[in-house]
Amino acid sequence: MKLSHLTGRKTCDHIRTKGCVWRGKTMVIRWIKGKEEGVYVGTYAPGTLHKSAVKRNRMRRRCREALRITMQKHTKVPPMQLLLCPRIASLGAPFPDICADIDSFISSRSSHV
């Protein structure tokens, strides 16, 4: 399944304020059921997460890549809009741990379909 980007400040703000929250070891995921087929993903890493923008961007990339890889394994994923916010643990965590975190989120969402 191909991941699409969330676009627009209003869309991201809507998900951040009205969306459901799932907290994992390496990231916090805010999500809303999607109206269209597919999964739309946005990421954000506030400046309070780490003072280095390079490290914040690395955390964002690792979380998004883990989501992409994990989505390929799942065939039945409900349409949704996701907003990923990495935690500082995602910077030094082994990549399989980040993938396991995403896998547990997708498994919990797929059971509610």
Q: Is 112's pLDDT higher than 80?
A: no
Tell me what pLDDT residue 85 has: 95
Give the C-alpha separation, 66 to 68, whole Å.
5
pLDDT band at 26 (very low <50, low <70, confident <90, very high): very high
Report pTM.
0.88
Task: Considering only residues 65 and 76, tell me which one the structure prediction assigns the higher pLDDT.
Answer: 65
Are 58 and 91 in contact by the 8 Å Cβ rule? The answer is yes
Q: Where are the domains of the chain?
A: 3-110
Q: Which residue has the higher pLDDT, 110 or 84?
A: 84
> Is a pLDDT exceeding 70 seen at residue 111?
no
Mean pLDDT of the chain: 90
Q: What CATH number is given for 3-110 in this structure? A: 3.30.230.10
